């Protein structure tokens, strides 16, 4: 990841109240309930959105089912669907600033990052899967001469796409783009705190020509809607990104109904810094890895493991450097670290740091909430001297907090890195590439970055091992996860031969 160049300040666009998008129609929740949506930088209500009921979920699933069964999208060729998605991609680019404003005002993301990370990465995902749509095919298998077998790649049906609060636009794109190009219908439930960009995507897909009912959005509480949507008999696949706790509950429910399930869950990545690394570059990477998106990043690097000879040096550099990272008002183009997304998240992070202090953690920098404009700010924090069993090291913090531990040997670094229930991402900073290959092969993670962090591309799959989930998003792997193989086998035997 690189910190982007600055761009124009946020103009403060007005956000319209949100409705449910079901069967191509915008409507209120069946009981009229609405939810306030906050700007995390000010704590102020910026708009309200409809809060769906389980009856609304039933309507959305019914609309998706009807659209799927009609064949109006599911039976188009990949190229025909790709033409529609190409128009959607252009509309996303035309409305890039609307999308950036939604992520900025709703999630508290610094405007510069919303523009050049969230919007750019999301549109690239749509671009990648649209391109795959042009070359979708099945296969013919070599069989004995009296059999002809070909394999069709067919869509699964109705997909429930459930996303977390931290990257609404990108994490919906990782699901919507491959699921749609494969021919599925979708019911999308965004996080209840950050649903705004999903509503813009619905407008765009409709304007692009995605048929009514193929894409639906139900905004509202996961506690109320989640089990109902996941367990709904007309939902054929669940694509879930969120916490390990909720993900395992949803996986259990889906598993009972034998539904395919993609689980992109929590993370607690280790960043291993060897003494032979380019220290300037490694410090830049280390700071980027834990402050990006205010640390609300499943693939953040909140655990820094440092080879002992440079341990105190690295702590000294972090103490000096971290307070200089531009922090505060996310409307300012130079801001790198904005607020946390919600008061709940702020309190969770503050509580974990207080308990880390009580457990003997040495605060190198930060360690406090910041009272600024009524927003949900936590100062970027570095903590040393905690053991691996301390909560702040063992659990996912999901805030701008870095713990630092020393190690003496390669073996110890690998053991510390793998000594967590999670296994999403990991990183190695070293000047010795043979060592990088050796260590990378032994890290229990879905992705490992060498001399960098969060280097992402739509073509590169990502996902977890252990408590970080299973299945992969990105790459052709994700497209395949929205398809099933249907083998069609012809009997070519001559009647007399068959009779023998």
Which active-site residues does the annotation give? 175, 264, 298, 473
Say how far residue 345 (Cα) sits from the centre of its chain: 17
> Which stretch of DSSP H or E encloses residue 151?
strand 147-155
Q: Whole-number minimum distance, CB 129 to ligand NAP, in Å?
A: 17
Q: Whole-number minimum distance, CB 235 to ligand NAP, in Å?
A: 11
Token pair belonging to 419: 């000594």
Taking the least distance from each CB to ligand NAP, the nearer of 236 and 468 is 468
Query: 310 CB contacts (<8 Å, ≥6 apart)?
Result: 273, 275, 279
CB count in 10 Å sphere of residue 79:
11
Taking the least distance from each CB to ligand NAP, the nearer of 264 and 444 is 264
Taking the least distance from each CB to ligand NAP, the nearer of 163 and 483 is 163
Query: 400 CB contacts (<8 Å, ≥6 apart)?
Result: 290, 291, 294, 295, 337, 349, 366, 378, 379, 380, 381
CB count in 10 Å sphere of residue 371:
8
CA distance 61 to 287: 43
Q: Whole-number minimum distance, CB 43 to ligand NAP, in Å?
A: 18
Taking the least distance from each CB to ligand NAP, the nearer of 291 and 364 is 291
Phi, psi of 372 (to 5 degrees): -145, 115
CA distance 464 to 447: 8
CA distance 499 to 492: 13
Token pair belonging to 100: 């950036």
Q: Whole-number minimum distance, CB 30 to ligand NAP, in Å?
A: 18
Residues of the shown chain interacting with ligand NAP in the complex, contacts defined by CB under 6 A: 162-167, 171, 189, 191-192, 221-223, 226-227, 230, 241-243, 246, 249-250, 264-267, 298, 396, 398, 424, 464, 468-469
Taking the least distance from each CB to ligand NAP, the nearer of 163 and 335 is 163
Q: Whole-number minimum distance, CB 149 to ligand NAP, in Å?
A: 36
CA distance 165 to 382: 24
Q: Whole-number minimum distance, CB 269 to ligand NAP, in Å?
A: 10
CA distance 379 to 239: 34
Taking the least distance from each CB to ligand NAP, the nearer of 164 and 406 is 164
């Amino acid at each position: 990841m690189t910190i982007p160049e600055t761009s124009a300040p946020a103009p403060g666009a007005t956000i319209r109240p949100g409705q449910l998008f079901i069967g191509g129609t915008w409507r209120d929740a069946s009981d009229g309930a609405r939810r306030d949506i906050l700007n995390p930088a000010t704590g102020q209500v910026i708009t309200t959105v409809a809060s769906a009921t389980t009856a609304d979920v039933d309507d959305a699933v019914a609309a998706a089912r009807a659209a799927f069964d009609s064949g109006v999208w599911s039976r188009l060729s990949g190229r025909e669907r790709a033409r529609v998605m190409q128009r959607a991609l252009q509309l996303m680019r035309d409305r890039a600033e609307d999308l950036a404003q939604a992520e900025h005002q709703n999630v508290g993301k610094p405007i510069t990052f919303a523009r050049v990370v969230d919007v750019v990465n999301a549109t690239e995902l749509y671009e990648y899967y649209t391109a795959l749509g042009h070359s979708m095919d099945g296969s013919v298998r070599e069989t004995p001469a009296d059999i002809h077998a070909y394999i069709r790649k067919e869509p699964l049906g109705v997909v429930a796409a459930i996303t977390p609060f931290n990257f609404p636009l990108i994490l919906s794109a990782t699901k919507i783009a491959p699921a749609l190009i494969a021919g599925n219908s979708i019911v999308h439930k965004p996080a209840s705190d950050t649903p705004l960009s999903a509503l813009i995507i619905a407008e765009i897909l409709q304007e692009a020509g995605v048929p009514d009912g193929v894409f639906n959005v139900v905004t509202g509480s996961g506690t109320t809607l989640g089990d109902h949507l996941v367990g709904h008999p007309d939902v054929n696949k669940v694509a879930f990104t969120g916490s390990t706790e909720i993900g395992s509950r949803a996986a259990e429910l889906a598993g009972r109904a034998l539904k395919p399930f993609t689980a992109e869950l929590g993370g607690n990545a280790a960043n291993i810094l060897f003494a032979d690394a380019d220290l300037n570059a490694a410090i830049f990477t280390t700071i980027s890895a834990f402050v990006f998106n205010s640390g609300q990043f499943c693939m953040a690097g909140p655990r820094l493991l440092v080879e002992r000879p440079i341990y105190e040096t690295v702590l000294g550099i972090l103490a000096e450097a971290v307070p200089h990272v531009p922090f505060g008002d996310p409307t300012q183009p130079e801001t790198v670290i904005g607020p946390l997304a919600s008061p709940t998240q702020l309190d969770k992070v503050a509580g974990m740091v207080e308990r880390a202090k009580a457990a003997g953690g040495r605060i190198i920098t930060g360690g406090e909430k910041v009272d600024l404009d009524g927003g949900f700010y936590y100062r970027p924090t570095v903590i040393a001297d905690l053991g691996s069993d301390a909560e702040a090291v063992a659990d996912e913090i999901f805030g701008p907090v870095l713990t630092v531990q020393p190690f003496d040997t390669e073996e110890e670094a690998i053991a510390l890195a793998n000594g967590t229930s999670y296994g999403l991402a990991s990183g190695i900073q070293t000047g010795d590439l043979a060592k990088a290959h050796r260590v990378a092969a032994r890290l229990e993670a879905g992705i490992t970055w060498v001399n960098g962090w969060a280097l992402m591309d739509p073509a590169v799959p990502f996902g977890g091992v252990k408590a970080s989930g299973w299945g992969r998003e990105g790459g052709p792997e994700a497209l395949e996860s929205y398809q099933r193989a249907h083998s069609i086998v012809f009997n070519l035997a001559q009647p007399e031969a068959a009779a023998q």
